[in-house]
């Protein structure tokens, strides 16, 4: 009776098409009997069918595949890889290893993000630059507005609402906002809480540290009492919940910047 040795390589998501070809090339050296045939399937799986599937041949196949996979897969996956009739169990083991790898990648990403946040909050600026920033803003005749919002749609909506009334600059993250602020400080800043590189509450404190007279109004879809009170306590001049209206934005500008809407 013919037997089938099914190599379920599709269970290993990290195996590329090139890796599959390498496995096939390595196996072809062992599948030389007339009564054994190798089939390369579309989903990366490989089937070996024939009467000559001896235990010795299975071991040779195992060694060949493991050796080839070791060149392209993490060591922990190779150690779990085996041939046999219990592919359900093997697939679970492989998936567990991949899950651990994904968790590790997420943890490393979180560490990198935390490091990035700290670098932003530790950014320092020469006092001469800060004095120049304050002087330029005090002497500016036209009120300028800055929007710091990572969501492109919300950012564009705010800009469209205010652009006909005031010069508006828009930044997508905390780092670019800080760098822009010290070069050309706005008179009013709308600051989103959930930024990709730094928390808006922390950026608020950083901005007030370099510019105690900053007019900062927080933007957020999370307008719960605790969030609002935290922002106000940290020095924000106001809090606008999403979705916001043009009238609400202008109201805050007039109230906290001390100017009326231009005619």
pLDDT in tens, 208-256: 999 998 899 998 876 677 888 888 999 999 888 877 788 888 888 887 6
- Using an 8 Å Cβ cutoff, are 145 and 162 in contact? yes
11 and 47 fall within a common domain:
yes
Asked whether residue 120 carries a pLDDT value surpassing 80, the answer given is: yes
174/204 Cα distance (integer angstroms): 10
Asked whether residue 90 carries a pLDDT value surpassing 90, the answer given is: no
Write down the pLDDT at residue 75: 52
Average pLDDT, integer, range 33-61: 77
201 and 94 fall within a common domain:
no
Q: End of a domain among 89, 104, 119?
A: 104
221 and 166 fall within a common domain:
yes
124/20 Cα distance (integer angstroms): 52
Task: Find all residues with CB under 8 Å of 18, minimum gap 6, and list them.
Answer: 72
Task: Tell me whether residue 116 is in a domain.
Answer: no
211 and 96 fall within a common domain:
no
Stretch (H or E) spanning 182: helix 174-183
162 and 237 fall within a common domain:
yes
26 and 137 fall within a common domain:
no
Q: Which two tokens stand for residue 225?
A: 């009492």
245 and 184 fall within a common domain:
yes
Model's pTM, two decimal places?
A: 0.59
137/259 Cα distance (integer angstroms): 14
State which residues form the domain around 37: 3-104
Q: How many domains does the chain have?
A: 2
Average pLDDT, integer, range 148-170: 90
Write down the pLDDT at residue 258: 56
142 and 246 fall within a common domain:
yes
Which of 83-87, 142-146, 195-199 tops mean pLDDT? 195-199
pLDDT band at residue 207, thresholds of 50, 70 and 90?
A: very high
Write down the pLDDT at residue 262: 37
Task: Tell me whether residue 211 is in a domain.
Answer: yes
Say whether 60 sits in a helix, a strand or coil. helix
Q: What is the CATH number of the domain that holds 188?
A: 3.40.50.2300
């Amino acid at each position: 009776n013919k037997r089938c040795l099914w190599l379920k390589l599709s269970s290993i998501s990290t195996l590329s098409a090139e890796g599959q070809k390498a496995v096939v090339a390595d196996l072809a050296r062992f599948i030389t009997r007339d009564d054994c045939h190798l089939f390369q399937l579309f989903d990366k799986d490989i089937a070996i069918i024939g009467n000559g599937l001896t235990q010795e041949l299975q071991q040779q196949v195992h060694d060949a595949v493991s050796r080839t996979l070791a060149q392209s897969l993490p060591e922990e996956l190779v150690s779990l890889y085996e041939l046999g009739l219990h592919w359900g169990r093997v697939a679970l083991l492989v998936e567990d290893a991949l899950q651990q790898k994904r968790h590790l990648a997420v943890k490393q990403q979180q560490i990198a993000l935390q490091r990035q946040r700290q670098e932003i909050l530790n950014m320092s600026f020469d006092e001469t630059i800060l004095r120049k920033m304050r002087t330029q803003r005090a002497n500016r005749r036209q009120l300028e507005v800055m929007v710091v919002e990572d969501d492109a749609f919300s950012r564009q909506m705010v800009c469209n609402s205010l652009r006909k009334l005031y010069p508006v600059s828009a930044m997508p993250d905390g780092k670019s906002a800080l760098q822009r602020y010290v070069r050309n400080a706005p008179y009013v800043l709308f600051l989103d809480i959930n930024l990709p590189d730094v928390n808006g509450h922390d950026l608020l404190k950083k901005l007030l540290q370099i510019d105690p007279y900053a007019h900062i109004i927080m933007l957020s879809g999370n307008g719960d009492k605790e969030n609002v009170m935290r922002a106000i306590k940290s020095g924000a001049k106001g809090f606008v919940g999403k979705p916001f209206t043009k009238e609400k934005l202008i109201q805050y500008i007039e109230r906290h910047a001390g100017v009326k809407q231009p005619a």
